[in-house]
Amino acid sequence: MLINLINPARIKGKKMENANIDEWAQWIEDRIAKGYINYHDYNEFQNINCIGTGGFGKVYRATWESSDTVVALK
């Protein structure tokens, strides 16, 4: 299972070309509200370890506390 976590605090701290950061954050919040994206808080996961880094960021291995399921976080 791949879970893509989006941390608004990290997004707002990055410089994004050709994009308004407030519009980007609003787009994400809108998609969460409509159910297109499921929001999961970082504190729902434990044993978070980086397993890879590439051009699109880092991938982490973690355990989802609610089900003891091992997941990949991006």
Annotated binding-site residues for ATP read 74
Exposure on the CB side of residue 56, measured as CA atoms within 13 A: 5
- Going by the annotation, the residues of the binding site are 74
